[in-house]
A and B are shown apart, each in its own frame.
Chain A
């Protein structure tokens, strides 16, 4: 059956991906198309005829975007920074940039603040103090959360809840003692940022945090923030090394000054700018992340299949050390990341394509390898007893395994046309709860269970 709404959406999606058009432009053109269709239907045409003729009349996308491009001469980067024509959007954009600057300065200053009271960032050996590593998330994530709370015009109640979680988390982890060999403390350090990032996610999504659409956007946001973050941080590092280099040329060593100010403030600013960039111009990376995933997912698949084959031929079991379990956790996380990049960029209305099958193959390979690894490790766990590290690594492994297994099962169902793609997205977005709960358990409950060892 011909569904006019779906067709119009695919048309504007096509415009979005293929043209040099802003969202406002697309909205206007879409309205234009609808007017045309309505007029044609009024003259007695059927919806599908009206749609075809209207699309034809609007002309092909290349021609339209070429005409628009003459006006939208801003290229990619200018597009990000030059204010859009719309005056309200301009004001909002200016406000966002102001927020980014203020928050970056505040976050940097917050890191420097303890130094005023004689509690510097580094200890006598020049190493960063445990306090700062442990509390690293609290210096920057609350500001990102606040940025979104302001942007989404959240209610006071939401502000209070989010702030409450941050404060509570900060109080708890700093009150916990830590005894040699500090296993649980390290686990807390690793899991706390993940937990808090999901809390930030709630502020990012705003009111619809329970809906799968909003959460999918957050997953997409996470992936894009990662790419942007790496790029921006690389920029900060280049600036750092360059400054160091030219001052060395005139025999002045400013390494200490740079490390204390440029890296701290630069790092905070990089995080805030990353968040701003991803939020301000969603569509720039939207085209980039899936391409990366599409390049690397076949390559990963080849490597993993090759690994499986070699393992079977040689009969070598590589799973004797528990450290390897962490390695396999990374493998699963990596596969999940690749799969998510592809899923998140995918138009749910499109039929299954090659990359969906590739995704499934990748997941299956990961499941088989991990299954072998897990069986070996479970045996060792039962033989040598449980430690917090082993248990955390195992838990992560099972969480990721469950996620991927679910995806594989749903993918198969989807290929057999048992249900549509939205079910896959719903599964993935609902699964965020599992990560939320698990990271909370490791960060806050493990230390108690294992007596802060």
Chain B
């Protein structure tokens, strides 16, 4: 099933922050991780991911550094910052509010 564009965009920030909280990562690995976590339902494009990463970096929620990959290539890694962790907690709460509200209304629907 295709997840709507708006929803993908809205969920991008918390997902990236959550993945970076696990460990530092880079663009290609993040896309793979999202795909894996969503059981192949969320396929992000590079055109979407990198701009979001750069915006998060600009807002100082994450930071980047370059490091050599196993193959010996210079790669840009991203690391979550203290403010990013705070932001993630905030986003989590917001999503919980939405999630709970949806959950309740849908349950009521099926109960009535």
Contact = CB atoms under 8 A, between A and B. Distances in A.
B45 interface: yes
A423 interface: no
Contacts of A34: 71, 73
Nearest to B53: A28
A67 B47 contact: yes
Contact of A71 (B54, B71, B73, B75): B54
A66 B47 contact: yes
B71 A28 contact: no
A29 B73 contact: no
Given A36-B28, A59-B45, A31 B51 contact: no
B14 interface: no
Interface string B33-65: 000000000000111101100110110000010
Contacts of B74: 27, 31
Contacts of B93: none
Interface residues of A, number: 22
B27 A28 contact: yes
Contacts of A58: 46
Nearest to A29: B46
SS of B interface (majority): helix
B44 to A, nearest CB: 11
A70 B9 CA distance: 13
A29 B51 contact: no
Interface string A47-64: 000000000001100011
B53 to A, nearest CB: 9
Contacts of A226: none
Contacts of A38: 71
B35 to A, nearest CB: 12
A11 B13 CA distance: 29
A64 B57 CA distance: 19
B26 A31 contact: yes
A317 B23 CA distance: 79
Contacts of A85: 54, 57-58
B9 to A, nearest CB: 11
B51 A67 contact: yes
A436 interface: no
Interface in B51-104: 51, 54-55, 57-58, 64, 71, 73-76
A35 interface: yes
B50 A68 contact: yes
A182 interface: no
Contacts of B71: 34, 38
Interface string A8-52: 000000000000000011011101101110100000000000000
B99 to A, nearest CB: 28
A29 B57 contact: no
A67 B8 CA distance: 14
B76 A28 contact: yes
A31 B25 CA distance: 13
Interface string A81-93: 0000110000000
A58 B26 CA distance: 16
B47 A63 contact: yes
Contacts of A31: 26-28, 73-76
B62 to A, nearest CB: 11
Contacts of B57: 85
Contacts of A24: 76
A64 B27 CA distance: 14
Contacts of B75: 31
A27 B27 CA distance: 12
A66 B54 CA distance: 15
Please provide the 10 A-B residue pairs with the shortest distance between their CB atoms, ordered closest to farther.
A67-B47, A35-B28, A71-B51, A64-B47, A32-B28, A28-B76, A32-B27, A31-B75, A67-B51, A68-B51
Interface of A: 24-25, 27-29, 31-32, 34-36, 38, 58-59, 63-64, 66-68, 70-71, 85-86
28 contacts: A25-B50, A27-B74, A27-B76, A28-B27, A29-B46, A29-B50, A31-B26, A31-B73, A31-B74, A31-B76, A32-B27, A32-B46, A34-B73, A35-B29, A36-B28, A58-B46, A59-B45, A59-B47, A64-B46, A66-B47, A67-B47, A68-B47, A68-B50, A68-B51, A71-B55, A85-B54, A85-B57, A85-B58
Given A25-B54, A68-B50, 4 more contacts: A24-B76, A29-B50, A67-B50, A68-B47
